[in-house]
Chain A
Amino acid sequence: MEELVFYLCAAVAIVAALTVIVQRSAVYSALALIACFCSVAILFFQLGAEFIAAIQVIVYAGAIMVLFLFVVMLIDPESDAFASNRLKKLTITAVPLAAILGLLLLWAVPAVGPNGSDSSHAATGGIEPLARSLFSDYLLPFEVTSILILVAVLGAMVLAKRTD
């Protein structure tokens, strides 16, 4: 059953990711990316990271992708989805590069070895150990993150402001 869920979600994620990069319309790309994020969220759940899965759906598939869709609809990128004359040349470069990268990544995978801890979900399950660690060991990074978000909000406001 678990394998079935994994293969189903993995297939949906890969097909959706491919749709993102081949789709001409940016709106369809954004929708495919939402599908990809949601199926990856199910995989996060399967890995015992329930809180991260919820954050993935709320922040990524919710907030960030809605922001993307707003921008896509605001500036209407349908006019030049593909620069077709350069596309062929770029694809010729991209395919070998991607093949090398993919092979390198896949080559690194067997180095992991067999599953170390079959006593799953001992330390990873639930929100409590996460919160305990976040607000004790990682308190300073957490606070720095809040400053980062403040700076990002100010930066976005300044950048998006109409200057003329």
Chain B
Amino acid sequence: MVSTTHFLVLGAILFTIGTVGVIIRRNVIIMFMCVELMLNAVNLTFLAFARHFNQIDAQIFVFFVMTVAAAEAAVGLALIVQLARRTNSVDIDQADTMKW
């Protein structure tokens, strides 16, 4: 059986990669994808602990995280579409005005 530590280390690595992506990329869509990647790393950590402590509650929590992530993706992508329509770009640096 693969130990819990292995899964936690992988979760930490994936979370860090997601953070780096959010910092270095200026494309809104890719920044959003990196946020999804970070959520997924956290889900992996949750499930590792679910097995470690033999508790079902962490799986329920992952279920809710996924549901919220789906809702967030729908609203976020609608915002991105609207932003791209108004500024004609998906560069986050272009979105620096409060009013168009």
Q: Which residues of A contact B (CB under 8 A)?
A: 2-3, 6, 10, 13-14, 17-18, 20-21, 26, 29-30, 33, 36-37, 40, 43-44, 46-49, 51-52, 55-56, 59-60, 63-64, 67-68, 71-72, 74-75, 77, 79-83, 86-87, 90-91, 93-95, 97-98, 101-102, 105-106, 108-110, 112, 115-120, 122-124, 129-130, 133-134, 138, 141, 145, 148-149, 151-153, 155-157, 159-160, 162
Contacts and interface: CB of A to CB of B under 8 A. Distances in A.
Interface residues of B, number: 72
Nearest to A29: B30
A117 B7 CA distance: 15
Main secondary structure of the interface of B (DSSP, over half): helix
Interface of B: 1-10, 12-21, 23-27, 29-30, 32-34, 36-37, 40, 43-44, 47-48, 50-57, 59-60, 62-64, 66-75, 77-82, 84-85, 89-91, 93
Given A112-B52, A117-B53, A2 B1 contact: yes
A94 B17 CA distance: 11
Contacts, number: 236
Contacts of A37: 40
B34 A115 contact: no
B33 A55 contact: no
A75 B80 contact: yes
